[in-house]
Structures are given as C-alpha cells and as structure tokens.
Amino acid sequence: MHHSYESLDGFGPTQRDRPGGGIFRPLRDRDFRLLWTGATASLLGDGAFLVALAWQVYAMSGGPTGMSLVGIAMTVPTIAFLLIGGVASDRFERRWLLVGADLLRAVALALLAGLTIGGQVELWQVVVLAAVYGTGAAFHAPAFDALVPEILSGERLTQANALDQLMRPLALRLAGPAIGGVLVGVAGAGGVFVLDCATFLMAAGTVLLMAPSRGDRVAAGGGSMVADLREGWTFVRGHAWLWATFASAAVAYLLFMGPVEVLLPWVVKEGMKGSAFDLGLVFAAGGLASMLCAVALGRFGLPRRGITFMLIAWTLATVAVAGYGAASAIWQLMIASAVFNALETAGTIVWATTKQRHVPSALLGRVSSLDWLISVGLLPLSFALTGPVSAAIGARATLVGAGLLGAIVTLAALYVPGMRVLDERAVRADARRRVVEERLRAAAY
C-alpha cells in the first residue's frame, strides 16, 4: 500500500480531541497492557538507578567531572546507533528489537552490580558499562515509538501517550527515586543496580508475551540502509514542524540538559548539604506534577493549536531550569522541578501524539530515530562543557544561564515559517465545522 504523506498533515478530527473512556482505556488491549507493564517496571528501576548512579559516581570522583564523563559515555553510543536503530525498527520485528535492547541493558547493569557489591568498581568501568547501556537505548527508543501506534489508533493513541506521561514521572521521578534514595542507604548502590537489572528482564519477558501479529509489521522495502535513511530525511525536511522542532530541541538540550543532569545532584549534595533522600524528593516533586498534568490532558484532550501550545509549554519549562540555580532550599528546588516537569510533560504528550498521527507508519521508526538523534546529538558536548563552565562561573550561574538561553531558543522555533501549519489547518477545519453545524441548526428550524 502506498501512503499519501500529505494527507496525513491534517489533525484528523477538527475539533478538540476529547478522548472517551478515561486515561486507562488503552489498557483494555492485551498487547498494549503487556508493553506498558514492562516499560513501567523498567522506568521504576531507572528512577532508582539515577539516584544510585549519581551517588556512586560522586563518591568515586568527588566532583562534577566524573558525572560528566558518565553522561558522555551514555549518550555517545545512543547517538551513534540511533539511525541504525531507526532503520532496523522499520525493517524488522519491533518486538525483538525491544527484547534485545532490554537484555543488553540488563547485562550491563548485572556487571555493574557485581563490581559495586564486590567493592571493585572503578570510574572507567562505570563509563564502559554506561556506554553499553546507551547502545541499548538507541535501539529501544525508535522501536518503542513506532510500535505503539501499530497497536493503538485514534483517540486511544492520545490516551496512551497521556498514560505514558502519567506513569513515566510516577516511576522515573517519583516512586523510583524514592526507592533509590532509601535503598542506597540500606543496600548500597549495588542493590539498586540489581533492582534495575531485574526490571529490564521483566520488560523483555512481557514483550515476548505479546502476539507476534500485533505491532510487528515488517517493512517491505528492500533497499539499502542509506536509501532508507534518505527517505526518512526527505520526509522530515519537507515539514517544518518536524525539522524545526528537532533543531530547537538540539540547541536547547545542549544548553540545559548537561547542567541539569550533572549540577542538580551537586547543588543538593554540596551546595545544600542534602542527602540522597533530598535528591529523591526533588525528583519526586517533578514526578507528581508531571502525573497531574498527564491526567488533565488525558481527561480534557489535546489543545486545538497543538504546536503553539507545545512550544510555549517547553519554553516556560526551560525557564524553570533557571530556578534550580536560583534556589536556596530543597523546597525551592522541588517547586522548580514541579514546574519544569509539568510543562515538559504537557508539550511531550502533544508532540508524541502529533508525530504518531502525521508521520506514516512505514517511516515512523526512521523519523523517530532522526528525532532522537538530532534532539540529543549535542548532549555529549553539553556534558563535556558543564564541568569547565561550572568551574569558571559556578554551578548556580551555569544553571540560570542555561535555563534562560534555552528558553529563548525554544520560543524562537515558534516563528519558523511553516511551523504552525498544522495549527492553522486545525483552526480552519474547526471553523468549517461550525459553519456546517450552524446551517444544520438553521435548517432544523
């Protein structure tokens, strides 16, 4: 079947998308329920892992430089293999890619747990295993993005993205960090690494239980990988709402992602003399706010001007990053985290749904891999610059500057020609609907 790409540029229903049946409606589908269960378990483990990893690395290195190295090691392989992962997700069974990615990360965590519990872990070993972990993520991300709309469609897709953004912060930023903060004190970082390894094994198991006939469409194209990538890039290049979003995210992440990941734990641990539990509280505040936002969007649906809403939400979220640098107490960091995560979640739900609706299924893996690649392509540089910049101007000034500059870049994307074409079409379609409805009412009288 040949897809009509341009026909997918409309929003479908021209009125505001109001899902019925509640945010948990997609769980009625067995395959999605299995996929969601495994993904939620691995996110829970990752939430604990983030706290344990930061605490372990800072204990070994004594400063932001060590954490910067780990961040670079985790992101470089992800970036290097994303395009291959995107092509693979459009060519092969997406279930098996997810299983392989989960098992690879489980092996890395098992090795890290063994070294840590045995008291023989060194920074270079953490760096190497972080690189293995990042490689798994490169194959998991595009395959997962492309698999969900193969299982669900219509309003259930919006609900699924809202549900994802409900459970992701609950597991990754609320429950996971809380568990990690407690377990680090009770069982040490090694115990947390064991937990995360187990969750990845569970995720692989649930995906294996999914029916092969659902969501495992193998791409029919037999061309070369280069030809496949060129086809995906051609589609992206022809749509400003795609390439401009990718580009603005790349620059914004360059500015603030490294500082947040590296310096926020430092602000808690060294700047405020806090504990691992305090860091967990900061993450948890963001997780709770993100959950509430996801529930609201799942209940009331997407805004009509989705792209405009998304970019404004992301702009305000990035401004909140400056709050990390301006805060002088843990509760202030919690407020900044809540604002950042709620607004980030709002934009992400709109973005995920828009991309899944308006990118052909046969190209979605490659477009998702390009999304990830371009958006996070500068993250290694962000991590690399965070150490020297924070040493030169201070951790707090780095966070404030990163937030403000990132917000400017994000807002600028809104004014790229063609960026709001989907919004304009949705508004025109809604106006046409109102005219038809008024004529029908008049005729009824």
Instruction: Find the length of the chain.
Output: 445
Q: What per-residue confidence (pLDDT) applies to 219? A: 45
Closest C-alpha to 95, from 134, 59, 148: 148
Residue 16 belongs to some domain of the structure: no
Using DSSP, state whether 254 is helix, strand or coil: helix
Q: What per-residue confidence (pLDDT) applies to 197? A: 93
CB atoms near residue 314 (< 10 Å): 27
Residue 48 belongs to some domain of the structure: yes
Residue 31 belongs to some domain of the structure: yes
Residue 15 belongs to some domain of the structure: no
Residue 13 belongs to some domain of the structure: no
Is the Cα torsion angle 165, 167, 172, 177 positive or negative in sign? positive
Residue 100 belongs to some domain of the structure: yes
- pTM tops 0.95, yes or no: no
CB atoms near residue 366 (< 10 Å): 29
CATH of residue 260: 1.20.1250.20
Residue 245 belongs to some domain of the structure: yes
Q: Cα dist. 330→180, 229, 335, 336, 406 in Å? A: 18, 46, 9, 10, 23
Q: What per-residue confidence (pLDDT) applies to 335? A: 92
Residue 277 belongs to some domain of the structure: yes
Where the chain has pLDDT below 70, the residues are 1-22, 62-64, 153-155, 169, 173, 213-223, 437, 440-445
Q: What is the extent of the structural domain holding 337?
A: 24-216+223-444
Q: What per-residue confidence (pLDDT) applies to 17? A: 42
List all residues 6 or more positions away from 350 whose beta carbon is below 8 Å from its beta carbon: 297, 302, 303, 306, 307, 309, 310, 313
Q: What per-residue confidence (pLDDT) applies to 284? A: 78
What's the domain count of the chain? 1
174-215: pLDDT as tens digits: 788 778 878 887 888 888 999 999 999 999 999 999 877 544
Q: What per-residue confidence (pLDDT) applies to 302? A: 74
Q: Cα dist. 170→31, 178, 283, 301, 308 in Å? A: 22, 10, 10, 20, 27
